[in-house]
Each structure stands twice: as structure tokens, then as C-alpha cells.
């Protein structure tokens, strides 16, 4: 292909080809991923100036990064918003620039490979055509609502017009991504293309002369007045049902901006001011940063080889589900238990997971082929990581380690999924005790993003770092913690659950106690959580982690009756079909939520002081991603600090103010 000398800015590279097409590549300088910073956007405006002076016959926009197309706006710039004027200027910048892109006289195409998120998708929506490369990692989404904000650069206008309001609102209100196949099925892209044909397909599409795609039929009609008001009413009801306390106002704002303002946030400056400078947006941005910090823990050393084979010992709920997740993520997995009959239920659950997550039957079959029942434990000798997930008895675990340690290949990690036992105790008797590390998953494995990676002793740092890299490799968030009872997450949950049970002993209905915390913003109440974990486990953890000589009466009575929660069908609630049967919840007494959350906060502070986690930010990250602690608060310690600050300021002011004259 003949090309002219490329025209390069700092972040953009423009190449004009002999066939009249221009190829514009974004390769943000000094960054691993493309993000639309103010500087990148200003240069893009200069690119459009150059193309306006000498228009091409068509323009293809692509990425120069292996990581993906565009990850969105530069989130660092959101953290700098302090005034309504700054917020409006940020919206104006992208809105006007992408409108300018949409209005150019030549055909434009976004060639999407890898992630295309937020402002990146809004840029792609402003093009006449979009192609998605059909390969793992291609993902299109408008996830702004997860940061407490809205897609203000044209996404709220263009996405409903392209795929219809129902599908568009679903994407915008959930942040749910679409892979290349789903994007093509929705009409979000004109086609999905194989990697080897991507450039040729882009060239053909941008020269095709085809009209831009738009939603047709009933889906398109719903984007018209007054039908969109009916959609708005229904969508707002759904938003209110999911968030009755209004902790996350961006979702309702998205619906209103689309329905009442044509997707143009600049027509509603009050909404821009209220949402972009809100505490919720700041706190959710904080949560995003915490998540990115955990991901950084999961990056391997430059010279480290990836894990290829995992051997799991114990095919119970946790062990079987850990094995299934590793196979889902592309690893060869051998699963060991006493006999094939004990392994069979785990294989069945794995098949359900693969079908649900992968959709494509061929991909599901490939994942199933990677998971091998191994009653004899032959996989131990080949595995890069061996994960023990047997009964919580130290003697049994130590006996297993003695049997398998001589068979481990050099450099293999030995990991335990224990949630309560001391690694210092478990490593006794090992020839190489420094290679034992805790890799503590949470139940259900497929849904819980956090994994605690536990180091026992100062000599376990290398094993912990390698285990963190393995956790990152399988798509989880690794939290490094020090060996201590309950580590972080279980240690902070125990006093929280016990305080909720004391409320029941005092006469409050379980439904009322749980409502206090769901109103606070928790995904489920503490008593429903205790039922889910198992009341016998909650009792044992309470005794171990809180020095409780006597358990709450309501807990002891239920355990004595063998009413252990979800697994026996009855605990604080009667369970049927995996759902708790709840009566009418009363109005929680004033201050109940704060009473319940206080022991959780105090224990989190204690774990930081004791060095179980490195700092308060990591403690917040662990509790958010390990328990679902209300993200809009920014985490328990951040919530405590920010909630206490106004009170402290008021007290200081009162102390400094002389009394009024009588």
C-alpha cells in the first residue's frame, strides 16, 4: 500500500494513502492505554482542522495500543473538578468536538479492537461506521454510571438512536459491556470482522457509500416524542426499585437527560453541576482508583512465566468452583478428591458456568476440556500452582502437604484457600515453608472479585508476589494481607454480623435489621449474609475473631436446632429456591445502621494498625470488593473519616466561639 509521509502529533498519527483514504492512529504518549485527556482532545481538534483544509475520501480511526481502542476519558481530570464551571467545561469539550466529527463531509469509521469504553465509544458513535474485531478482549461499553457520572459527549443521544432506547438504556444504566458478537447483534457496530481482515474490511466499509445505521421499527419509534416519555417513566421506576434511597443519582439523570433534553447535558446545567461535583461521583472515582491499585498488585514481574497448569485438591463448593474459574480463564486444571463421585458435582457446576459465561458452545466445550478429574492427583507433579481447598482442619491440611510437597516441581507454588487457619501453623513441617501462601477466594467464586493473598512470615514475600500475579492472571483482584486471624474481610465481618444478632436478641425482627443496612446501601443485610455463609461458620468465626465467650442467643438457638441458614433451608429466614422468605420489614430505629457499621469500621481500623493490610486505602478496597460495602461511600474508613469531619469542624467551631451574651 502506498502512503504519503505520515503527519504526526504527539498522540495522533495521520497517514494519507494513495487511494484517498486517511488513517488516523491514536497512540497516547507515555501511557499504556489510550485515554481522552484534554491534550489528546485538543490535538484531535487540530487533526480535524488539517482534514478540513484538505479533506480525504474517507477516514479510519484506530488505536496504536495493543491494550485496546480507547479506555475512555482521563479519569484523573474528573478528580480535579471542583466547581460547576469546570464540570460544564469538561462536558462542552467532548460534546462539541464529537459533534464536529459527526458533521464532517467525508465518511468516517472507527476500527475497534480491544476495549472501547466511555468517551472512546462516544467517539466511535460519532463516526458514520463502526467495525469490531472479533477476538477476546474486544469490549464496548458506556460505564460512566459506575463512576457516578453520565456519558455527556454524545452517547446519550447517539446510542438510543442507533440501537433503540431499551437496549441503549440497559447499556448506560448498567455499564454492561458488549463483545464483538453482541455488538453486531445489537447493531452497535456494522459488522464483526476477524483480525486478519480488519484493515481490508475497514477500507471496504468506509468506501461503501452505505447509509449510517439507525434503529428501525418499534425500537426506533421509542426514541421519538412522546413515546420516549413512556420509556422514561418505566425506566425511572426500575431505577427507583433498584436504588430506593437514591444513593446513585447518575442513573436517573441519564434517563432524564435522554428523555427530556435530547441527550444534551448542556441543556440541563443543574444536572451537570449536581452529578459531576457530587460526593457520590468523587467516591465512586475513588473506588475505581482502588480497583486499579488492586489490579496493579496482579501484574507479574517482567521475567515471570505465566501459570499454565493449576491443580486443585478438594472438589467441594470452593475447590470445585476455583477449578472451574481457572479453566474458564484458559488454564489447564486438574481437580483431585477421594474418588470420581466426589468430583462429578463440581464438573456439573463447571459446565453450567462455562455455558453461562461463554455463550459459544465451542468455547464452552474447550473450557470443559481444560478441566480434568484427577482422583489420583497425577497433576500435582505438572502444576505451576497447587491449591488446597479441603476441610478446615490443620492436621488434615498438614498431612496433605507432607504427601504432595515431595512431588511438586521446582518453583511451584503451594497455596491454601483457608479462611480461618494460621499459615504459620500450616507451614510447620514443610521442607520449604516459604513457598506456602494463602490464596483465599470468596463464595461464590464466579461473582466475588476479591482474593486475599496471605503471606506467612517475612520469607514469604516472593511467594505472595507470584500468587498475586496468578490471581491477576485469572481476572481477580489480589489483596496482599499478612497472616492474622480472619485476615481482613472475615475479621471485619464477624463483629458486624454479631452486632446484628444482638439486635435480634433485643427484640428487633431480622427483616428490620437487614433493612437498616440495605437502606444504608449494602447489597444484602447482615442476617441474610449470615444465612448465606452458614450460621455454624458464623458462630465459629465469631468465637475465634471477637473473643466472644458466649454467642448471641438467637445464633446459638438456631445452630442447636441445625437451622444453619441457606444450606439447611432455614436460619434467620426460611429459604426456598435459593431465596430468603422475608416478612414485612419495620422501620429501622434511628441510628441502627450506624450502630451496626461501627464495629466493622473499628475492626478495619485495627487491622490497619496491626499491619494486616498496608494502609487504610487497601482496607477500604478489601471491604468494598470482598463484602460489597456500599461503594458510594468510598469504603468504611473513608466514610468514617468524611462523616466525622463535619462533626469535628462543628465541635471545633463551637469551642472557639465565645458564648452569647445573656
Sequence-ordered alpha helix ranges (H) in 262-328: 269-276, 279-297, 317-328
List all residues 6 or more positions away from 542 whose beta carbon is below 8 Å from its beta carbon.
494, 497, 498, 548, 551, 555
List all residues 6 or more positions away from 300 whose beta carbon is below 8 Å from its beta carbon.
306, 466, 469, 472, 473
- Could you report the per-residue pLDDT of 465-497, keeping only the tens digit for each? 999 999 999 999 999 999 999 999 999 999 999
Q: pLDDT band at residue 659, thresholds of 50, 70 and 90?
A: very low
pLDDT higher at 656 or 172: 172
* 139-151 burial code (b ≥16 CB/10 A, e <16): bbbbbbbbbbbbb
Cα separations in angstroms, 110 against 21, 38, 45, 71:
13, 20, 17, 14
Say if residue 436 is in the same domain as residue 505: no
Tell which residue, 457, 568, 567, 589, has the closest CA to residue 515. Answer: 589
Say if residue 210 is in the same domain as residue 259: yes
CA-based max dimension of the chain: 91
Determine the pLDDT at residue 76. 82
Query: How many Å separate Cα 11 from the centre of its chain?
Result: 29
Rounded to 10 deg, the angle between the 592-609 and 510-520 helix axes is 70
H-helix or E-strand spanning residue 123: helix 119-125
Cα separations in angstroms, 551 against 90, 535, 543, 562:
54, 11, 7, 15
Residue 1 has pLDDT above 70, yes or no: no
Cα–Cα distance measured from residue 387 to residue 409, given in angstroms and rounded to the nearest whole number: 14
Determine the pLDDT at residue 260. 95
Residue 646 has pLDDT above 80, yes or no: no
Query: What are the backbone dihedrals phi and psi of residue 413, each rounded to the nearest 5 degrees, phi first?
Result: -90, 140
Residue 209 has pLDDT above 60, yes or no: yes
Name the grid cell of 621: 478496597
Domain boundary among 483, 501, 524: 483
Per-chain mean pLDDT for the chain: 91
Say if residue 505 is in the same domain as residue 418: no
Determine the pLDDT at residue 4. 53
656 inside domain: no
Kindly name the residue from 419, 499, 511, 528 that is annotated as catalytic.
Answer: 419
653 inside domain: no
Cα separations in angstroms, 104 against 22, 107, 320:
13, 8, 55
* 514-533 burial code (b ≥16 CB/10 A, e <16): bbbbbbbbbeebbbbbbbbb
Say if residue 208 is in the same domain as residue 353: no
Please tell me whether the peptide bond between 317 and the residue prior to it is cis, using omega within 30 degrees of 0: no
Query: How many Å separate Cα 33 from the centre of its chain?
Result: 18
H-helix or E-strand spanning residue 539: helix 535-546
Neighbours of 165 (CB within 10 A): 27
Tell me the residue ranges of DSSP E strands in 340-472. 371-373, 385-388, 413-416, 436-441, 450-455
Determine the pLDDT at residue 540. 81
Determine the pLDDT at residue 220. 84
262 inside domain: yes
Cα–Cα distance measured from residue 242 to residue 169, given in angstroms and rounded to the nearest whole number: 15
193 inside domain: yes
662 inside domain: no
Say if residue 22 is in the same domain as residue 102: yes
- Could you report the per-residue pLDDT of 527-540, keeping only the tens digit for each? 999 998 889 888 88
45: annotated active-site residue: no
List the CATH number of the domain containing 385: 3.40.50.720
Q: Give the CA angle between residues 313, 318, 320 to the nearest 5°.
A: 60
Determine the pLDDT at residue 239. 95
Cα–Cα distance measured from residue 381 to residue 405, given in angstroms and rounded to the nearest whole number: 9
- In three-state secondary structure terms, 452 is strand
Kindly name the residue from 144, 232, 388, 452 that is annotated as catalytic.
Answer: 452
Determine the pLDDT at residue 649. 35
Cα–Cα distance measured from residue 3 to residue 24, given in angstroms and rounded to the nearest whole number: 13
* Strand ranges of the sheet holding 385-388, from the earlier edge strand across to the other edge: 371-373, 332-336, 309-313, 385-388, 413-416, 436-441, 450-455, 477-482
List the CATH number of the domain containing 569: 1.10.1040.50
Q: Give the CA angle between residues 398, 403, 405 to the nearest 5°.
A: 85
Residue 657 has pLDDT above 70, yes or no: no
Mean pLDDT of 121-127: 98
Q: What is the CA radius of gyration of the chain?
A: 27
Determine the pLDDT at residue 6. 63
Cα–Cα distance measured from residue 294 to residue 450, given in angstroms and rounded to the nearest whole number: 9
Q: Provide the 8-state DSSP code for 199.
A: H
Containing domain of residue 134, as a range?
12-277
Say if residue 506 is in the same domain as residue 435: no
Name the grid cell of 541: 468465626
Determine the pLDDT at residue 5. 53
261: annotated active-site residue: no
Q: pLDDT band at residue 656, thresholds of 50, 70 and 90?
A: very low
Cα–Cα distance measured from residue 658 to residue 468, given in angstroms and rounded to the nearest whole number: 56
List all residues 6 or more positions away from 495 whose beta carbon is below 8 Å from its beta carbon.
545, 546, 599, 600, 602, 603
Please tell me whether the peptide bond between 176 and the residue prior to it is cis, using omega within 30 degrees of 0: no
Say if residue 455 is in the same domain as residue 318: yes
Kindly name the residue from 139, 283, 490, 551 that is annotated as catalytic.
Answer: 490
Q: Considering Cα of 466, then 471, then 475, then 479, what sign does the dihedral take? A: negative
Determine the pLDDT at residue 653. 36
Lowest mean pLDDT, pick from 47-61, 195-209, 532-546: 532-546
Say if residue 452 is in the same domain as residue 511: no
290 inside domain: no
List the CATH number of the domain containing 269: 3.90.226.10
List all residues 6 or more positions away from 447 whose beta carbon is below 8 Å from its beta carbon.
none
Mean pLDDT of 59-70: 95
List all residues 6 or more positions away from 66 whose beta carbon is below 8 Å from its beta carbon.
114
Q: Provide the 8-state DSSP code for 642.
A: H
Residue 80 has pLDDT above 60, yes or no: yes
Cα–Cα distance measured from residue 332 to residue 153, given in angstroms and rounded to the nearest whole number: 43
Percent of the chain with pLDDT over 70: 96
117 strand-pairing partners:
141
Residue 606 has pLDDT above 50, yes or no: yes
- Could you report the per-residue pLDDT of 297-316, keeping only the tens digit for each? 999 988 889 999 999 999 99
Residue 199 has pLDDT above 70, yes or no: yes
Mean pLDDT of 148-172: 96
Domain boundary among 435, 452, 483: 483
Mean pLDDT of 160-189: 96
- Could you report the per-residue pLDDT of 265-303, keeping only the tens digit for each? 999 999 999 999 899 999 999 999 999 999 999 999 888
638: annotated active-site residue: no
* Strand ranges of the sheet holding 129-133, from the earlier edge strand across to the other edge: 7-8, 12-16, 21-26, 58-63, 108-112, 129-133, 191-193
Tell which residue, 226, 114, 98, has the closest CA to residue 155. Answer: 98
Determine the pLDDT at residue 460. 64
Mean pLDDT of 431-441: 94
- Beta strand 115-117 with 139-141 is parallel
Cα–Cα distance measured from residue 44 to residue 50, given in angstroms and rounded to the nearest whole number: 10
Mean pLDDT of 357-362: 88
- Tally of domains within the chain: 3
Say if residue 323 is in the same domain as residue 192: no
Q: What is the 3-state secondary structure (H, E, C) of 29-87?
A: CCCCCCCECHHHHHHHHHHHHHHHHCCCCEEEEEECCCCEEECCECHHHHCCCCCHHHH
Query: What are the backbone dihedrals phi and psi of residue 166, each rounded to the nearest 5 degrees, phi first?
Result: -60, -50
pLDDT higher at 128 or 80: 128
Say if residue 325 is in the same domain as residue 253: no
Mean pLDDT of 407-419: 94
287 inside domain: no
Domain boundary among 258, 277, 296: 277
Determine the pLDDT at residue 662. 25
CB distance 31 to 2 below 8 Å = no
Cα separations in angstroms, 332 against 324, 348, 372, 412:
10, 17, 8, 15
Cα–Cα distance measured from residue 333 to residue 468, given in angstroms and rounded to the nearest whole number: 18
Say if residue 82 is in the same domain as residue 132: yes
Say if residue 549 is in the same domain as residue 599: yes
285 inside domain: no
- In three-state secondary structure terms, 3 is strand
Amino acid at each position: 500500500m502506498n502512503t504519503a509521509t505520515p503527519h504526526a502529533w504527539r498522540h495522533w498519527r495521520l497517514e494519507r494513502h494513495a487511494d484517498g483514504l486517511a488513517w488516523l492512529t491514536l497512540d497516547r504518549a507515555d501511557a499504556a492505554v489510550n485515554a481522552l485527556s484534554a491534550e489528546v482532545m485538543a490535538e484531535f481538534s487540530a487533526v480535524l482542522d488539517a482534514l478540513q483544509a484538505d479533506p480525504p475520501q474517507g477516514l479510519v480511526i484506530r488505536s496504536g495500543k495493543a491494550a485496546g481502542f480507547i479506555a475512555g476519558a482521563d479519569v484523573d481530570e474528573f478528580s480535579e473538578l471542583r466547581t460547576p464551571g469546570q464540570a460544564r467545561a469538561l462536558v462542552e469539550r467532548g460534546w462539541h468536538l464529537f459533534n464536529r466529527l459527526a458533521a464532517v463531509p467525508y465518511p468516517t469509521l472507527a476500527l475497534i479492537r480491544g476495549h472501547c469504553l466511555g468517551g472512546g465509544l462516544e467517539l466511535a458513535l460519532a463516526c458514520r461506521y463502526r467495525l469490531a474485531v472479533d477476538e477476546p478482549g474486544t469490549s464496548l461499553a458506556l460505564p460512566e454510571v459506575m463512576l457516578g457520572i453520565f456519558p455527556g459527549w454524545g452517547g446519550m443521544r447517539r446510542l438510543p438512536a442507533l440501537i433503540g432506547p431499551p437496549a441503549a438504556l440497559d447499556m448506560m444504566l448498567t455499564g454492561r459491556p458488549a463483545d464483538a458478537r453482541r455488538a453486531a447483534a445489537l447493531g452497535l457496530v456494522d459488522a464483526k470482522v476477524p483480525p486478519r481482515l480488519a484493515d481490508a474490511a475497514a477500507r471496504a466499509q468506509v468506501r461503501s457509500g452505505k447509509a449510517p445505521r439507525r434503529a428501525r421499527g418499534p425500537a426506533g419509534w421509542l426514541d421519538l416524542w412522546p413515546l420516549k416519555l413512556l420509556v422514561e417513566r418505566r425506566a425511572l421506576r426500575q431505577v427507583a426499585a433498584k436504588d430506593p434511597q437514591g444513593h446513585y443519582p447518575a442513573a436517573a439523570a441519564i434517563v432524564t437527560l435522554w428523555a427530556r433534553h435530547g441527550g444534551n447535558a448542556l441543556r440541563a446545567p443543574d444536572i451537570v453541576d449536581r452529578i459531576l461535583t457530587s460526593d457520590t461521583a468523587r467516591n465512586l472515582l475513588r473506588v475505581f482508583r482502588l480497583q486499579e491499585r488492586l489490579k496493579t498488585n496482579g501484574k507479574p514481574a517482567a521475567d515471570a512465566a505465566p501459570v499454565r497448569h493449576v491443580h486443585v485438591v478438594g472438589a467441594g463448593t470452593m475447590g470445585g468452583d476455583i477449578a472451574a474459574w481457572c479453566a474458564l480463564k484458559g488454564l489447564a486444571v486438574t481437580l483431585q478428591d477421594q474418588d470420581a463421585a466426589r468430583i462429578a458435582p463440581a464438573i456439573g457446576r463447571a459446565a453450567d458456568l462455562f455455558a453461562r459465561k461463554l455463550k459459544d458452545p465451542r468455547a464452552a466445550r474447550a473450557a470443559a476440556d481444560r478441566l480434568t478429574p484427577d482422583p489420583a492427583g497425577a497433576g500435582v507433579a505438572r502444576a505451576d500452582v497447587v491449591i488446597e481447598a479441603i476441610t478446615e482442619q490443620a492436621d488434615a491440611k498438614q498431612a496433605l502437604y507432607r504427601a504432595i510437597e515431595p512431588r511438586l516441581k521446582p518453583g511451584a507454588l503451594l497455596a491454601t484457600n483457608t479462611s480461618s487457619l494460621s499459615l504459620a501453623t500450616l507451614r510447620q513441617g514443610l521442607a520449604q515453608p516459604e513457598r506456602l501462601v494463602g490464596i483465599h477466594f470468596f463464595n461464590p467464586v464466579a461473582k466475588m472479585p476479591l482474593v486475599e493473598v496471605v503471606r506467612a512470615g517475612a520469607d514469604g514475600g516472593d511467594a505472595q508476589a507470584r500468587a498475586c500475579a496468578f490471581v491477576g492472571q485469572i481476572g481477580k483482584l489480589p489483596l496482599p494481607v499478612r497472616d492474622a486471624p480472619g485476615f481482613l474481610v472475615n475479621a471485619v465481618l464477624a463483629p458486624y454480623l454479631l452486632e446484628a444478632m444482638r439486635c435480634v436478641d433485643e427484640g428487633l425482627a431480622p427483616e428490620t435489621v437487614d433493612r437498616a443496612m440495605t437502606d444504608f446501601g449494602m447489597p444484602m443485610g447482615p442476617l441474610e449474609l449470615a444465612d448465606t455463609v452458614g450460621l455454624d461458620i458464623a458462630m465459629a468465626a465469631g468465637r475465634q475473631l471477637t473473643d466472644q465467650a458466649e454467642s448471641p442467643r438467637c445464633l446459638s438457638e438456631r445452630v442447636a436446632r441445625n437451622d444453619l441458614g441457606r444450606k439447611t433451608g432455614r436460619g434467620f429466614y426460611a429459604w426456598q429456591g435459593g431465596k430468603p422468605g422475608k416478612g414485612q420489614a419495620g422501620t429501622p430505629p434511628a441510628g441502627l445502621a450506624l450502630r451496626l457499621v461501627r464495629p466493622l469500621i473499628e475492626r478495619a481500623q485495627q487491622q490497619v494498625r496491626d499491619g494486616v493490610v498496608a494502609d487504610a486505602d487497601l482496607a477500604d478496597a478489601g471491604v468494598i470488593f470482598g463484602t460489597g460495602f456500599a461503594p458510594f461511600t468510598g469504603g468504611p474508613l473513608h466514610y468514617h473519616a468524611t462523616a466525622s469531619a463535619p462533626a469535628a469542624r462543628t465541635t471545633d467551631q463551637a469551642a472557639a466561639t465565645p458564648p452569647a451574651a445573656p
